[in-house]
Structure 1
Amino acid sequence: MLTELGLSTWDETVYRAMLQSPRAGVAQLAAQLEVDEPAVRGALDRLLDLALLRSSDDGLCAVRPMAGLMSLLDRAEREVTLRQRRLEVARLSIATFATEFSHQAGTDLITRLEGIDAVRDRLVELAQEAKHDCLSFNSGGAQAPDIIDAEKPLNQQALERGVQIREIYQESFRNDPGTLAHAEWMARLGGHSRTVPTLPMRLVIVDQRTALVPIDPDDPRAGALEISTPGVVAGLIALFEHIWASGRPFGEAAARDQLGLTTQERGLIELLAEGHTDESAGRKLAISTRSVQRTMMVLTQRLGVSSRFQAGVEATRKGWVR
């Protein structure tokens, strides 16, 4: 209970025993607490250092809790205040260092971030620097729980500063409990999330001026390009807004179009019509090959045909393929 004041659980136990039995010596305390005498002596030495015991003509006596513990509390508060001041100095030093580094880095409008660790470090910086908004595409597989947990404090701090966060996920993420819980948590803090069948790549845009796109869309671990070219960033913002407008907010039931198709079913049909295999369509939609095959079986039955070829012909006839 008092560990924040520098008092271990064992020290607190001995201190309580001293308060309850003011005249007890080392041997009596050891017998009472059922430990050996060296353990008691060690605790008494620490209690003396903390000024919770004082020496008198009769030996050691315990200082009353309100006097002794409040003194420790005052000291702890002074240490916290001093540490806060040092942290503020460190914060200013970091800002100065970052400014110097950015000047040394030159005026390149495209910076190559090699490897996933460099990308994550830069995302942390951008999250802390963000003032207005943050837009993102979250494509591929669902994020691991540890990554979501690591991002939570950054998202919360940004939202509390008034930064607007909008995230677009793929429809398949609705089946991932971790992603669903994260989206609900973000919504409670003021964030907004939508889903679409497919996304072209991962993307982060901060304050309408800095964008991160993958070096290799098929290998997120390869790193990213940080782009500050106004024309390119404007184009990426337009792409985001176009896809955002077609997205479905988390929490809404799957909508069907006038032909009775969900956005994921429509996306699958269009991918297969373009020549994608079940495997590549699954990767685009971030669903398993088995889910692709199961969905196609349902759609084939709805079309009233027995083969994929017949399904393609009938889907075209019904206007399912644009």
Structure 2
Amino acid sequence: MLGSLGLDPLAQAVYSAMLADPAVGVRELKERLGQEEARIRDTLDRLVELALLRPSREQPGGLYPVSLVAGMQLLVQRQEAELAAGRDAVAAGRAAAADRQRAEQLFGLDAVQSELEQLLAGAAVEVLSMVPGSAVPAATLKAAESLDQDMTRRVRSRILYHSTVRQDPTTIAYGRWMAEQGSEVRLSPSVTRRLLIVDGKTAVVPIKPNEASVGALCVREPGLIDQLTALFELIWTEAVPLGMPAKAESPAGLSPTDRHLLRLLADGLTDEAAAKRLGISARTVRRIMADLMDRLGAESRFEAGVEAARRGWL
């Protein structure tokens, strides 16, 4: 009976012997049970740890056994506590696994590429992607070609590029090729952050928006996926299909990018900071700003800001 409650045979024998004769000593236990003294002493220590033996009040240094009923209650309580601790550990492990599944950090470009390959290869419904910047490196496009082709044959694919890719023949050519494979491709000045959503269940975003080499965050939290998808759909609705002319400019001849840039620079952002906010290069910002200054007849950024405000461009 005691064995089912966690006592090994020697511990049962020692405890039973002390229940029968509380005054029995180590030497006598050794002789009765045919065990080495060290094993008897280790077993006594174990029984003390289990609270089945307690210091004797009558014999200093001696031990006294608790009753069998009390001992069984103690062992049952101990087993219940161990089972509860085990359940808590399992629950904590499951929670940790769920957290890892819902948000996983991928450090470095190789880890990100490996995860993207697995996600796209397993896509079953739809892939949504936003690609910021005024150009995508030719080497990057070439490396993605095979995977993109396979993906577009199996699932719906929608891609958003920043409007400024119109100035990059390589990126535009790739976008057209993707459209030929079956993807839907649109352009928008609002594409300022990189984003990939697969099957409405998994999203990949950069850990640091403007430092792709740091890595990415892979998330599967339904609430967050819903928000990111809503953002994509909002931009998609206003975006222009690849091959179609850009939306009409404002009466002043300003494109959405021109107007957004003027506001950012008026707020005191540097070219580099404005470029990061818009998802384009600082070189493109300087080119756009040079054109705006020429149109405004301004010789400095400050003069351009004053004139833009006077004309109601801000």
Of 125, 136, 143, which residue of structure 2 is paired with 1:132?
A: 125
Of 241, 245, 250, which residue of structure 2 is paired with 1:253?
A: 245
1:38-57 mapped onto 2 (5 Å cutoff): none
Task: Report the counterpart of residue 260 of structure 2 in structure 1.
Answer: 267
Of structures 1 and 2, the larger Rg is shown by: 2
- Supply the AA of the counterpart residue of 1:151: A
User: For residues 219 and 253 of structure 1, do their structure 2 counterparts lie closer, same or farther at Cα, with a shift above 3 Å needed?
Assistant: same
Give the Cα–Cα distance (whole angstroms) in 2 for the partners of residues 271 and 246 of structure 1: 21
Task: Report the counterpart of residue 98 of structure 2 in structure 1.
Answer: 107
User: For residues 279 and 224 of structure 1, do their structure 2 counterparts lie closer, same or farther at Cα, with a shift above 3 Å needed?
Assistant: closer
Give the Cα–Cα distance (whole angstroms) in 2 for the partners of residues 287 and 127 of structure 1: 26
Question: What whole-Å deviation, never above 9, does each CA across 1:203-242 have from its counterpart, x for those lacking one?
Answer: 1000111101111112111111111110000000111111
Task: Report the counterpart of residue 171 of structure 1 in structure 2.
Answer: 163
User: For residues 317 and 225 of structure 1, do their structure 2 counterparts lie closer, same or farther at Cα, with a shift above 3 Å needed?
Assistant: same
Contact 1:142–1:176 (CA under 8 A) maintained in structure 2? yes
Contact 1:172–1:285 (CA under 8 A) maintained in structure 2? no
User: For residues 276 and 198 of structure 1, do their structure 2 counterparts lie closer, same or farther at Cα, with a shift above 3 Å needed?
Assistant: farther
The answer as to 2:198 corresponding to 1:202 is no
Contact 1:172–1:286 (CA under 8 A) maintained in structure 2? no
CA displacement at 1:182 relative to structure 2: 0.7
Task: Report the counterpart of residue 280 of structure 1 in structure 2.
Answer: 273
Name the count of aligned residue pairs: 218
CA displacement at 1:282 relative to structure 2: 3.3
Contact 1:171–1:285 (CA under 8 A) maintained in structure 2? no
Contact 1:148–1:182 (CA under 8 A) maintained in structure 2? yes
Contact 2:132–2:280 (CA under 8 A) maintained in structure 1? no
User: For residues 290 and 117 of structure 1, do their structure 2 counterparts lie closer, same or farther at Cα, with a shift above 3 Å needed?
Assistant: closer
Task: Report the counterpart of residue 243 of structure 1 in structure 2.
Answer: 235
User: For residues 297 and 149 of structure 1, do their structure 2 counterparts lie closer, same or farther at Cα, with a shift above 3 Å needed?
Assistant: closer
RMSD of aligned Cα (Å)? 2.5
SS across alignment from 2:98: coil
Task: Report the counterpart of residue 211 of structure 2 in structure 1.
Answer: 219
CA displacement at 1:187 relative to structure 2: 0.9
- Segment of structure 1 superposing worse, 144-153 or 211-220: 144-153
SS across alignment from 1:168: strand
Task: Report the counterpart of residue 157 of structure 1 in structure 2.
Answer: 150
User: For residues 296 and 211 of structure 1, do their structure 2 counterparts lie closer, same or farther at Cα, with a shift above 3 Å needed?
Assistant: same
Give the Cα–Cα distance (whole angstroms) in 1 for the partners of residues 206 and 281 of structure 2: 23
CA displacement at 1:290 relative to structure 2: 4.8
Contact 1:198–1:267 (CA under 8 A) maintained in structure 2? no
CA displacement at 1:201 relative to structure 2: 2.1
User: For residues 301 and 143 of structure 1, do their structure 2 counterparts lie closer, same or farther at Cα, with a shift above 3 Å needed?
Assistant: closer
Question: What whole-Å deviation, never above 9, does each CA across 1:108-140 have from its counterpart, x for those lacking one?
Answer: 311111211111111111111111111111124
Unaligned ranges ≥5, structure 2? 1-93
SS across alignment from 1:261: coil
- Supply the AA of the counterpart residue of 2:223: G
Task: Report the counterpart of residue 288 of structure 2 in structure 1.
Answer: 295
Contact 2:265–2:274 (CA under 8 A) maintained in structure 1? yes
Give the Cα–Cα distance (whole angstroms) in 2 for the partners of residues 211 and 237 of structure 1: 9
Contact 1:199–1:284 (CA under 8 A) maintained in structure 2? no
CA displacement at 1:184 relative to structure 2: 0.4
The TM-score with structure 2 as length reference comes to 0.63
The answer as to 2:141 corresponding to 1:148 is yes
- Supply the AA of the counterpart residue of 2:97: G
1:24-63 mapped onto 2 (5 Å cutoff): none
CA displacement at 1:175 relative to structure 2: 1.9
The TM-score with structure 1 as length reference comes to 0.61
Contact 2:128–2:196 (CA under 8 A) maintained in structure 1? yes
The answer as to 2:290 corresponding to 1:313 is no
Task: Report the counterpart of residue 8 of structure 1 in structure 2.
Answer: none
